[in-house]
Structure 1
């Protein structure tokens, strides 16, 4: 293909222009297809995930926000169309996954080759991308805890993108799962193999203690704030509270890191208390997904479980790029079970 013909190619993309409502701040347009720079590849996107990271970025409450305007999109699955100078081990036509953290909501993405992971042929693109960030997060959080078959764990947001996969993986490993969700989603949580509880109205620690009088061995919390104190109260001796995100509800746009401070402070205080022997063996930890060999290994394992039918990612909706605002709105309003996906 000549340079002129290449320059004439234009791909669709979604830009986030500032803080506000998704219908006002997400703009769809077309841009020239990028060329692969040194150490990078260009990927034609088959599916890109929609996540709460984009909700946080839209409200300028993400802990590591890019500057407006930018192309959102935390993760993607697609095929390499061009390989840049210095790239080895990859070639055009390879099916890959990547977690660029932003930039995935477009037809063609330039991304570093070192952050790619292979995607088996035959897997549905939407289901495959659901496992990139959410699946790896669920898998690694479970792997890092000394849990055994028969233990009881609490999964907050068991109907969400991470929660549905975390619940399935935990059940597959023989764990008993208590999952919080709104009542309208309790049937879906039961289908995953968990015991649902309503997280609203207060009294959640008491409700959990009624189901697990001795406490639970792990709490997986994506809410943050004072809810982390409730999670701590639910733990059995030797249990672990894992904080892997923070709700931004009630915070003004632009407060940036503030929603995430309570988790940091509580983690630090409980680490010190544990060193002093004051926690009954309980501990609190924070989790943040990042690329690397461990990420690749977890994703490969998950793709194997998907191919075997052990895992079934719940896809809340498949949307063209121009419906990105509708997908984000559904996530904002809590109307979804599983993960929304954009299909360029």
Structure 2
């Protein structure tokens, strides 16, 4: 038997219901031994993304019933393996996308969901590009299919996905216009984008001045009323990629209604006779019915992104490193919209 006989006690952060960040709870429990095809991963870095912010409000599609342990992705070391898993995986680092459960010191995962992390990439650096990097990579190359010489717009160019999009695009020879608050404009310029103030009422007009013939793609995580303006920025043949509805995060009522309206609008725009395209990016597309294909695609894309981090092409944007027991502070900081990059949660000192 490969599974360890030692008991592993996991410290977990629990989201008990719709609460303020300080309402998060910390618990300790004994983990079950890993089953067939499973491993126990000791967390070395996890983080806060927009999904956890939505989950706190009960507004993330398909989130579990309260209470549950949030945490969308992580990097960690295998400390135990179950039947059918190569014992050589022990003591090696891997990344995984979990959707929930990663805000824990240890967790049980399917070995098939693990992606190796190169030795030359630090765990916190790798964590910043697990879900963010795969999202940016797939939106660029699998959805919008942008190419060298194109011009794109990235809304929220200072965020986790946005800053990765900017760097990937510049590496590929693509011009980037990125929106951000003025406090982040220097950082956005350093990444290689031309910054525009997202709070400026004339933001879209200023983008049109920078790209009077239109742009080849717009990456919009905001949704809401501004989606129509993002659509208008496109030239013929351009693509609007929406991957969220941040504008409606705090709206009361059914969490899915704004998303369904958004999805319907994007679908209808594809039938307009103007040569433009629009789509809603879903990270989990194909997971349920084509699990092997989903895993292979995720492994391939994340491996490419991690190589770019290791080579220095992608600079990890770590906004802060906060211990697991202070996850409430990490969530508060991420929700403040004042940071550049990703807030990373690390083990206790």
Spell out, residue by residue over 1:132-164, the C-alpha distance to the aligned partner (whole angstroms, 9 max, x if none). 100011111111234222211000000000011
State the match for 2:180 in structure 1.
181
More off after superposition, 193-202 vs 85-94: 85-94
Runs of 4+ off more than 4 Å = none
Does the aligned pair in 1 maintain the 2:45–2:124 contact within 8 Å?
yes
State the match for 1:130 in structure 2.
128
Distance 1:166 1:89 in 2: 37
State the match for 1:203 in structure 2.
202
State the match for 2:48 in structure 1.
50
Q: Secondary structure at the match of 1:342?
A: strand
State the match for 1:97 in structure 2.
95
TM-superposed deviation, 1:5: 7.5
State the match for 2:251 in structure 1.
251
Distance 1:154 1:34 in 2: 47
Does the aligned pair in 1 maintain the 2:48–2:342 contact within 8 Å?
yes
TM-superposed deviation, 1:222: 0.5
Distance 2:184 2:87 in 1: 44
Does 2:337 correspond to 1:334?
yes
Does 2:288 correspond to 1:289?
no
Distance 1:151 1:34 in 2: 51
After TM superposition, the score normalised by the length of structure 1 is 0.93
After TM superposition, the score normalised by the length of structure 2 is 0.92
**1:139 paired residue among 137, 140, 146:** 137
TM-superposed deviation, 1:88: 4.8
The verdict on how the C-alpha distance between 1:41 and 1:4 changes in structure 2, with shifts beyond 3 A counting, is closer
Does the aligned pair in 1 maintain the 2:4–2:81 contact within 8 Å?
no
RMSD (CA atoms): 1.9
TM-superposed deviation, 1:262: 2.9
Q: Which runs of 5+ in 2 are unaligned?
A: 285-293
More off after superposition, 196-205 vs 163-172: 196-205
State the match for 2:310 in structure 1.
307
Matches within 5 A, 1:147-162: 147-162=146-161
Distance 1:225 1:88 in 2: 48
State the match for 1:79 in structure 2.
77
Does the aligned pair in 2 maintain the 1:63–1:260 contact within 8 Å?
no
Spell out, residue by residue over 1:228-278, the C-alpha distance to the aligned partner (whole angstroms, 9 max, x if none). 1111010011000001111144312x63213312321112211333xxxx1
State the match for 2:216 in structure 1.
217
Distance 2:4 2:37 in 1: 23
Spell out, residue by residue over 1:5-62, the C-alpha distance to the aligned partner (whole angstroms, 9 max, x if none). 733x4221100001121112x1112111331012211101110121110000000110
Does the aligned pair in 2 maintain the 1:22–1:329 contact within 8 Å?
yes
Distance 1:54 1:28 in 2: 16
Distance 1:214 1:208 in 2: 11
Does 2:40 correspond to 1:11?
no
Q: Secondary structure at the match of 1:6?
A: coil
Aligned length: 335
Q: Which runs of 5+ in 1 are unaligned?
A: none
More off after superposition, 170-179 vs 110-119: 110-119
Q: Secondary structure at the match of 2:27?
A: strand
State the match for 1:169 in structure 2.
168
TM-superposed deviation, 1:67: 1.0
More off after superposition, 76-85 vs 263-272: 263-272
Matches within 5 A, 1:227-246: 227-246=226-245
Distance 2:88 2:271 in 1: 46
Q: Secondary structure at the match of 2:148?
A: coil
Distance 1:10 1:187 in 2: 44
State the match for 2:116 in structure 1.
118
